[in-house]
Chain A
């Protein structure tokens, strides 16, 4: 397979609104054929970045290149990108077919070819036969399909999607996720979408960029973002996490130990950390990676084969149980007052009865489970 070709490149792009720095020195490359997500909380600059790519905003500094060509100052109607708006922005005074044909008409595509391509685009989004309808006769999901067809019919180099699923109800959102992924595979166009919903980004994207306060925090595949976050912000923003502040006590090439005043045990890791000895670090531990064991009535603490004794095992008491059907979340109070979240899948129909409120338990995790964060 040939090496993927870079299609979009942001080079040190900043955007200032008065004194506010909405996008702060972002450099980012996106390859052809990627399904790329810009992820972050509201106000993080992800939409500004998207709108700069579409041409509705101009970067204060830096350049934006598409296929190696600087388009930072090209007007939006001259760019090889098309956008699906958050509100869909389907023209209410035109039929579905006229909406889809609009971009071809202004480009001067002749009538017969236009009709054929409109038909094809409507088929692509499964709206065959809806051409004569008006937008007010469509559901929200159908309007979104019109917006998709209208953008894709122009055969853009990049399709931009601004919060594509946020206006749909939960069930439809789920269905639309896989459908968008299938659509992208089918048309082969690079998709760049903006979302504040981490589930959405993890489920659809081939690669994500996490942004916070205008800064690019991490660019990685969804699983790398989840398992190998590079900062407390990313660890906390993607999924649920227990964070412990501590000191790096041992740092060898094949193992490391962190001491946290928030935990009555030392944290053992099966890999070295490239941090300064005795420096402050944070340990991120995902709830599902913590095992729950029974304690009390003389039961011994669990033995972890990859971890020396006295590490990674903490006694505690269950304070809160949230039963979520497929899994249960247990809030466990450990010595020192910290509450640790753990998650247990309900693999059988009786699993949720194993543990109850105020039950003494052991918490244990493997040496490969915690992630050490330096910032």
Chain B
């Protein structure tokens, strides 16, 4: 059946052509145009001449922009690390939950996707700002303790709200919040495939839970860990909305700079060059990862 399906080239073409054309017309062509712009320069307000210049790229690797790119990678790496640390126990909990609880927990993980990112980010602002829920709760507790200590003649003094918003902390916090489901789902998928008797065998052979986790669970869940890291890291590097709304002036990421080139600065060629610089770096990271994993697999053979 599937053999003849492959041989029926007409059917294959009919089914395959629409998505291919779609991707070609609305993804690859615009991407190629932007790529072309990255080698061009502004002639007038609306005219760009693609003259093969590398000026934009030279501009982009100046310390100012390179610093922002590096910071973007640093934020993304921190985000990925926190997602991994927070997500692994969550994924384990879902894996070992009862079948009924499992579907509810998975629903909870996916629930944020049903709300627009913008709304979720504003909600996070309401939580983090100086008059937000966290500071409100802290102030309440502070005042309570203060009343108590006042009884012994040592009041704590007025509460100083924590500055949780518009700084680097807020950006990484927001990114972890947004990216966490993308880490949990591949981890869960990998853990769920794991044969439970392997864990029992490890315990049976005298290993404790931590040793079992380190020697059996982590190595066997490695494909899930790697894909979780990739799908968390890559979108985090290019995150735009979160640093824009939650970040302060010094916590801008590369996507915010790119946005400014296309909008306020009206320097499309430079914006294009920055975009593609980011893309080259991401491709490079994925290629290195692929080569490393292929070499490792090759050695195991």
Residues on A close to B: CB < 8 A?
54-56, 75-78, 81-83, 85-87, 89, 91-93, 102-103, 106-107, 134, 147, 150-151, 154
Q: Which residues of B contact A107 (CB under 8 A)?
A: 206
Closest to A106 in B: B207
Assuming the contacts A75-B203, A106-B207, asked whether A93 and B197 have C-beta atoms less than 8 A apart, the reply is: no
Q: Which residues of B contact A83 (CB under 8 A)?
A: 200-201, 204
Q: How far in angstroms is the closest Cβ of chain B from A265?
A: 54
- B300 within 8 A of partner (CB): yes
Q: How far in angstroms is the closest Cβ of chain A from B200?
A: 6
- B216 within 8 A of partner (CB): yes
Q: How far in angstroms is the closest Cβ of chain B from A110?
A: 15
- B208 within 8 A of partner (CB): yes
- On whether the beta carbons of B220 and A154 are closer than 8 Å, the reply is no
- On whether the beta carbons of A82 and B205 are closer than 8 Å, the reply is yes
- B130 within 8 A of partner (CB): no
- On whether the beta carbons of B207 and A89 are closer than 8 Å, the reply is no
Listed by A's residue number, 29 A-B pairs whose Cβ atoms lie within 8 Å are A55-B203, A75-B203, A76-B203, A77-B205, A77-B206, A78-B206, A82-B205, A83-B200, A83-B201, A85-B200, A87-B195, A87-B197, A89-B195, A89-B198, A89-B200, A91-B198, A91-B201, A92-B198, A92-B220, A93-B220, A103-B207, A106-B206, A106-B207, A106-B208, A106-B215, A107-B206, A134-B300, A147-B201, A151-B205
- In chain B between 197 and 239, which residues have their CB closer than 8 angstroms to a CB of chain A? 197-198, 200-208, 211, 215-216, 219-220
Closest to A93 in B: B219
Q: How far in angstroms is the closest Cβ of chain A from B219?
A: 5
Pick the contact of A77: B197, B207, B216 (CB < 8 A).
B207
Assuming the contacts A87-B195, A134-B300, A154-B206, asked whether A106 and B200 have C-beta atoms less than 8 A apart, the reply is: no
Interface residue tally for chain B (C-beta within 8 Å): 18
Q: Which residues of A contact B202 (CB under 8 A)?
A: 91, 102
Q: How far in angstroms is the closest Cβ of chain A from B98?
A: 12
Q: Which residues of B contact A54 (CB under 8 A)?
A: 200, 204
- On whether the beta carbons of A102 and B197 are closer than 8 Å, the reply is no
Pairs of residues from A and B, 3 with the lowest C-beta to C-beta distance, nearest first: A103-B205, A89-B201, A89-B197
* B206, B211, B216, B300 — most chain A CB neighbours (10 Å): B206
Interface membership of chain B positions 169-205, coded 1 if the CB is closer than 8 angstroms to chain A and 0 otherwise: 0000000000000000000000000010110111111
Assuming the contacts A89-B197, A102-B215, asked whether A77 and B204 have C-beta atoms less than 8 A apart, the reply is: yes
- On whether the beta carbons of B203 and A103 are closer than 8 Å, the reply is no
- On whether the beta carbons of B216 and A82 are closer than 8 Å, the reply is no
- On whether the beta carbons of B219 and A106 are closer than 8 Å, the reply is no
Assuming the contacts A89-B195, A92-B220, A134-B300, asked whether A77 and B208 have C-beta atoms less than 8 A apart, the reply is: yes
A314 vs B211: C-alpha distance when bound (angstroms)? 68
Q: Which residues of B contact A93 (CB under 8 A)?
A: 219-220
- On whether the beta carbons of A106 and B195 are closer than 8 Å, the reply is no
Q: Which residues of B contact A82 (CB under 8 A)?
A: 204-205
Q: How far in angstroms is the closest Cβ of chain A from B257?
A: 43
Q: Which residues of B contact A86 (CB under 8 A)?
A: 197
Known: A77-B204, A89-B195, A102-B202. 13 other contacts (CB 8 A): A76-B204, A77-B205, A77-B206, A77-B208, A83-B201, A89-B200, A106-B211, A150-B201, A150-B205, A151-B204, A151-B205, A154-B205, A154-B206
A89 vs B216: C-alpha distance when bound (angstroms)? 11
Q: How far in angstroms is the closest Cβ of chain B from A355?
A: 50
A81 vs B204: C-alpha distance when bound (angstroms)? 8
A85 vs B198: C-alpha distance when bound (angstroms)? 9
* B198, B201, B205 — most chain A CB neighbours (10 Å): B205
Closest to A100 in B: B205
Q: Which residues of A contact B204 (CB under 8 A)?
A: 54-55, 76-77, 81-83, 151
- On whether the beta carbons of A56 and B205 are closer than 8 Å, the reply is no
Q: Which residues of B contact A106 (CB under 8 A)?
A: 205-208, 211, 215
Assuming the contacts A103-B206, A107-B206, A154-B205, asked whether A76 and B215 have C-beta atoms less than 8 A apart, the reply is: no
Q: How far in angstroms is the closest Cβ of chain B from A163?
A: 12
A159 vs B278: C-alpha distance when bound (angstroms)? 58
A87 vs B197: C-alpha distance when bound (angstroms)? 8
Q: How far in angstroms is the closest Cβ of chain B from A117?
A: 13
Interface membership of chain B positions 43-71, coded 1 if the CB is closer than 8 angstroms to chain A and 0 otherwise: 00000000000000000000000000000
- On whether the beta carbons of A102 and B207 are closer than 8 Å, the reply is yes
Closest to A79 in B: B204
Pick the contact of B205: A75, A87, A92, A102 (CB < 8 A).
A102
